[in-house]
Amino acid sequence: MTGPAVHALAQPAAVTKGADSGQLAQDIASAGRLRMQSQRLAKLYLQAGMGLKSGAARQQIDASVGEVDAEFGRLARYAKKQSSQRNHARSEALWQEMRVALKQTPDTAASERVNQIADELMVHAGKLAMQIEGEGETPVGRLLDLSSRLNMLSQRLARLYLQAYGGNRSQGVLVDIEQARKEFASGLQELDAARENSSASRESIGLARNQWIFFDGAIADLGKGDRKEDRSALNVATSSERIAQVLDQASLQYVRDYADGLRNVR
């Protein structure tokens, strides 16, 4: 068979492939949110324990628990895939442990445990995202990967800052702060400069860049005195939440842009 008949037979397969790739992009974004939420929830738990907008922090924790449960629901099919079932199972087990830990009254020991679980979940959710991406024949855009990683870094950096603000000025924490700070700044610059950005994704990145000015300035105030640090801690708490919102919007926009690109190719 030749001509229109061949095209008619090939078209459903192309549509299915495009739909699968679009779903794949959404799944990668979901795994990326799991990675981000691991660090964000640990940050909010520290906030609550410090009495830093503690009421709002507890409300945000309660709301986010349901959101993380929903993300695992969206990714349930990867529990049955041989390539991803181990990391999915480990991620879910860590989440159930973290879920219980977040209900405990924050103190030094409880906060340390939440931080440990958060870092393990961050690693396994990151591996899960890579394995999901490996399911597809076409790699998902690097901007989706980068925006997702930056969102996790913003929350990790806020958590590390709060650890230092709370009195943990160990060399390990200070080195991790500086490393995350540099990586976030260079990644945000790369994301902002990307030619592939649509007007909608560029707008979200611009908002993140504006919030980063406050965030970065607050981090620079670490060690400059209690009064200045108290104000800076509030700036970290508020600006990191705003960054989480706008970078999640950017990731979702990259998913939409990727799906639009698939439709245009077809």
Residue 13 CB-density burial (10 A; 0-12 exposed, 13-18 middle, 19+ buried): exposed
Are residues 132 and 28 in contact, defined by beta-carbon separation less than 8 angstroms? yes
In this prediction, residue 5 carries a pLDDT of 40
What's the mean per-residue pLDDT of the chain? 88
Q: Which of 74, 77, 124, 131 lies closest to 98 in space, CA to CA?
A: 124
Residue 40 CB-density burial (10 A; 0-12 exposed, 13-18 middle, 19+ buried): buried
Going by pLDDT thresholds of 50, 70 and 90, the confidence category of residue 142 is: confident
Q: Which is more confident, 223 or 157?
A: 157
In this prediction, residue 259 carries a pLDDT of 75
Show me where the domains of the chain are located: 20-265
Q: Is the pLDDT of residue 207 over 90?
A: yes
Are residues 115 and 42 in contact, defined by beta-carbon separation less than 8 angstroms? yes
202-215: buried (b, 16+ CB within 10 Å) or exposed (e) per residue?
eebbebbeebbebb
Q: Is the pLDDT of residue 6 over 60?
A: no
In this prediction, residue 137 carries a pLDDT of 59
pLDDT digits (tens, 9 = 90+) for 93-119: 999 999 999 999 999 999 999 999 999
Give phi and psi for 23, each to the nearest 5: -65, -40
State what percent of residues in the chain have pLDDT above 70. Answer: 88
Q: Show the tokens assigned to 62.
A: 């309660």
216-232: buried (b, 16+ CB within 10 Å) or exposed (e) per residue?
bebbebbeeeeeebeeb
Of 44-58, 142-156, 176-190, 250-264, the one with minimum mean pLDDT is 250-264
Spatial separation of the C-alpha atoms in residues 36 and 159, rounded to whole Å: 12
Of 165-169, 182-186, 230-234, the one with minimum mean pLDDT is 230-234
* Reported pTM: 0.89
Going by pLDDT thresholds of 50, 70 and 90, the confidence category of residue 263 is: low
- The distance in angstroms from the start CA to the end CA of the chain is 21
pLDDT digits (tens, 9 = 90+) for 14-42: 444 555 778 888 999 999 999 999 999 99
Cβ partners under 8 Å of residue 231, min gap 6: 221
pLDDT digits (tens, 9 = 90+) for 216-249: 998 988 877 777 788 889 999 999 999 999 999 9
Q: Is the pLDDT of residue 7 over 80?
A: no
